Amino acid sequence: MAFELFIGLVTVLAVAYALLAKYVQNKFVDKKQMEDYQAKMKLLNEEYEKAKKTGDKKKMQDALDRQMAFMPEMNKIMFAQFKPMIYIIIVFAVFSWVIGAMDDTIKDDILLNLSDDGLGCDKMAGDGIYSTCYQLNNENYGKWTVTGIVYESGHELARNQSYFQYGLSDNDSYVEGDKGEVVTTTTDKLEYTKGETVSIYAKPANMTKPGWFGGPRQIVVEKVQAVLSNGTYFRVDLPITIPIVNIKSFYQPVVWFIFISFILNLIMSLIMNKKSKVGAQNPK
């Protein structure tokens, strides 16, 4: 699947999700019931505060009793409002799975095993630096990301990402930071040409975890791997930078999906609120 086509597909799914979520909200959420509940609670709170100011304990207790009597109805209303959200969350999970399953930028990733045995690209055995080499022969020129991943007993302990330029320069320098314990991921150079070999290094920190009795224990590194992006990764650049959060580019398809859904949902809510106000001002 072409990269531009995949971006378009994610965008279409985001629009479909936003429309479906708004439909479920409008279909199954009783806004009038919620507004009536909020009005009742506001009135009871005002009565309580008024009685409190005048020191009328009888009226204060009366307001509290009516609030307590209203609690079962309130719980019923809140559950009815929450129920549609369960369906929306399920639909979101399905859409997210579909996006992940169709992401070709991940399918062509290159998985490499790193070693610390002093052989091949590894300079010294047992120095704590895991290494491997990969010859660059394809024509996926531009920025490549390399992700170092550390495992213990089949479980991922740490990952960290770096990048290098292949064939041509790309001003983008975004990489994902440390996750889990600390591992430093580097390459021997920042720029390569076709036919050159990139040396990849991953150095796990002096990692420890709580032992059975609370004391630290040394982590035993089972294996270290590196994932090369093969020059393909999800990226959408916005025409402007979003203020406050200072975001201009999106690098995960699910994050782009959430962003488009949020913006569309916000626009639809503003339009519906405006129509509602106009309808209230000009009743038939």
Task: Look at residue 244 and tell me if it is in a domain.
Answer: no
**What is the torsional sign of CA 7, 12, 17, 22?**
positive
**Summary mean pLDDT of the chain:** 86
**Which string of b and e fits 45-78 if b means at least 16 CB within 10 Å?**
eebbeebeeeeeeeebeebeeebeeeeeeeeebe
Dihedral Cα 101, 102, 106, 107, nearest 10 deg: 90
Largest CA distance in the chain: 88
> Order of strands across the sheet with 183-187?
130-135, 197-204, 183-187
Residues 66 and 148 in one domain: no
Q: pLDDT tens digits, residue range 118-148?
A: 998 999 998 889 999 999 999 999 999 999 9
Determine the average pLDDT of the residues in 18-25: 86
Q: How far apart are CA 188 and CA 209, in angstroms?
A: 31
Count of domains in the chain? 2
Which positions ≥6 away from 213 have C-beta within 8 Å? none
Task: Look at residue 52 and tell me if it is in a domain.
Answer: yes
200: DSSP letter: E
Q: How far apart are CA 163 and CA 172, in angstroms?
A: 10
* pLDDT value at 208 more than 70: no
Percent of the chain with pLDDT over 70: 89
Question: For residues 47 and 63, is the Cβ–Cβ distance under 8 A?
Answer: yes
Residues 139 and 62 in one domain: no
Closest CA to 253 of 235, 238, 271: 235
Domain that holds residue 205: 109-228
Residues 79 and 146 in one domain: no
216 confidence band (pLDDT: 50, 70, 90): low
Residues 114 and 215 in one domain: yes
Residues 87 and 125 in one domain: no
Residues 33 and 121 in one domain: no
Residues 190 and 94 in one domain: no
Residues 149 and 163 in one domain: yes
Overall pTM > 0.85: no
205 confidence band (pLDDT: 50, 70, 90): confident
Task: Look at residue 25 and tell me if it is in a domain.
Answer: yes
Question: For residues 226 and 149, is the Cβ–Cβ distance under 8 A?
Answer: yes
Task: Look at residue 182 and tell me if it is in a domain.
Answer: yes
Determine the average pLDDT of the residues in 219-237: 91
Residues 94 and 62 in one domain: yes
31 confidence band (pLDDT: 50, 70, 90): low
Helix (H) or strand (E) holding 114: strand 110-114
284 confidence band (pLDDT: 50, 70, 90): low
Which range of 126-130, 192-196, 231-235 scores highest in mean pLDDT? It is: 192-196
Task: Look at residue 236 and tell me if it is in a domain.
Answer: no
**Which string of b and e fits 4-34 if b means at least 16 CB within 10 Å?**
eebbebbbebbeebbebbbebbeeeeeeeee
